Amino acid sequence: MEYIALGCMSGTSLDGIDLSIIKSNGVDSYDEVDNYFQPYSKEIILLIKNTIKADSLLNPNLPTLISNEYLKAIQFLMNRNKLLNIDIMGIHGQTIFHDEKLKISLQIFDKKIFLLKHPLVISNFRKNDLLNGGKGAPIIPIFHKLLSNKLNLKTSIFINIGGVTNITIIDDNNISACDVCFGNALANDLISFLQKDLSFDKDGILSHNGSLIKTLQQTLLSDNFFKINGTKTLDRNYFHKYFGLLKSHSSSSLRNTLFTLWTILAFAIHEKSKYLKNPQIILCGGGRKNKTFKSILSNLNPNILNIDELGLDGDFVESQGIAYLAIRRFIEIDSTFHSTTGINKKIYLGEIN
């Protein structure tokens, strides 16, 4: 049986809400129906950043503010698809804290607001994984596997570059995954701090023709995170402990500092993929549009495509994945595995509210 599901996702880039409607049986069928992006206001972005920085909900109204943004975006997308009957809704919420050791992953929104209008809502997608020995991330790899099968790829690597970068390796139908490095969040926050009129390295223009700062590269790559093998996960602000060092280098050249960050990211991806024979590397998320990063990565791994080149929208893979996970939760199919999060047993993700 096929279901129509609406999935919503707010990533660690903190730019807004991705929404998607898909049709799927939760196993091996999938069709994209519609997508929509609802940007956050500057005020909400600032509130979220301050909350993450303080590790505390400074403004108790933030969950309601974010929930109202979700509700507005969902209603818009549903009105645009009035002839559809949405069977299931998956709402991820906005992550403000994630710590695998504490077994806590906090996504904020007020589900009471949704239950008044949409009774079948599935949320809290990371809890079951964390409580059963997993790291709570990444949770979309099973959807990457579906896409790989749909595209008839034997060996593929999905790289999602959001605020954090995660990697899914699918080799002869075997799947493994982990967070692999920082993504856009570190560079975005640096740019916003130094360039008040800019918020990210659009198309890689700010880092174009930059030069590698070897001492900075060596310092970041010596971090203990890169010494961990197997499944691992990152909080959005983990690498912000180097923020003072990044600012110092940026005072001489922001271009070179950003170029070095993209070089580190490319190197981290290459280290995870170099053992595979001729894999198809597929870039997803906002970072796929960064031409500087893509050029650096292409020098290490020439077989690279943006997922858009395969007929899929790279901005909405995560929200479509949440819709897919919601269907799998509804029909009680496991969605997380030891090779993707380190979980001790097969289990479905999400709670039916």
Residues 130 and 72 in one domain: yes
Range scoring the smallest mean pLDDT among 32-46, 49-63, 167-181? 49-63
Q: Give the phi and the psi of residue 195 in degrees, each rounded to 5.
A: -125, 95
Rounded to an integer, what is the distance from CA 49 to the centroid of its chain? 17
The residue with tokens 């500092």 is: 257
pLDDT digits 0-9 by tens, 290-326: 999 999 999 999 899 999 999 999 999 999 999 999 9
Q: Give the phi and the psi of residue 56 in degrees, each rounded to 5.
A: -155, 145
274 located within any domain: yes
Task: Provide mean pLDDT across the span 242-271.
Answer: 97
| 3-class secondary-structure state, position 103 | coil
* Residue 320 near residue 343, CB atoms below 8 Å: no
Residues 13 and 147 in one domain: no
339 located within any domain: no
Residues 187 and 275 in one domain: yes
Residues 184 and 53 in one domain: no
Residues 85 and 71 in one domain: yes
Residues 26 and 154 in one domain: no
Domain that holds residue 293: 141-310
Residue 115 has pLDDT above 80, yes or no: no
255 located within any domain: yes
290 located within any domain: yes
> How confident is residue 252, by pLDDT bands cut at 50, 70 and 90?
very high
Q: How many domains does the chain have?
A: 2
Which CATH number fits the domain that encloses residue 45? 3.30.420.40
In this prediction, residue 193 carries a pLDDT of 94
Residues 159 and 302 in one domain: yes
Residues 305 and 190 in one domain: yes
Task: Provide mean pLDDT across the span 126-149.
Answer: 95
In this prediction, residue 119 carries a pLDDT of 64
Q: Give the phi and the psi of residue 178 in degrees, each rounded to 5.
A: -175, 165
Residue 139 has pLDDT above 90, yes or no: yes
Residue 346 has pLDDT above 90, yes or no: no
Task: Provide mean pLDDT across the span 238-264.
Answer: 97
Residues 26 and 164 in one domain: no
259 located within any domain: yes
Q: Over the chain, what is the mean pLDDT? A: 93
Q: Residue 72 CB: number of other CB atoms within 10 A? A: 12
Residues 76 and 150 in one domain: no
In this prediction, residue 116 carries a pLDDT of 62
Residue 138, preceding peptide bond in cis (omega within 30° of 0): yes
Residues 116 and 199 in one domain: no
In this prediction, residue 120 carries a pLDDT of 87
Q: Do β-strands 16-24 and 280-284 pair in parallel, antiparallel, or remain unpaired? A: unpaired
Phi-psi category of residue 90: left, alpha or beta, with phi > 0 → left and psi -120 to 50 → alpha: beta
Contacts of 44 (CB under 8 A, 6+ apart): 62, 65, 66, 69
Contacts of 330 (CB under 8 A, 6+ apart): 3, 26, 87, 88, 120, 122, 352
340 located within any domain: no
15 located within any domain: yes
In this prediction, residue 58 carries a pLDDT of 81
287 located within any domain: yes
In this prediction, residue 36 carries a pLDDT of 98
Residue 197 has pLDDT above 80, yes or no: yes
Residues 165 and 297 in one domain: yes
Output the pTM of the full model: 0.95
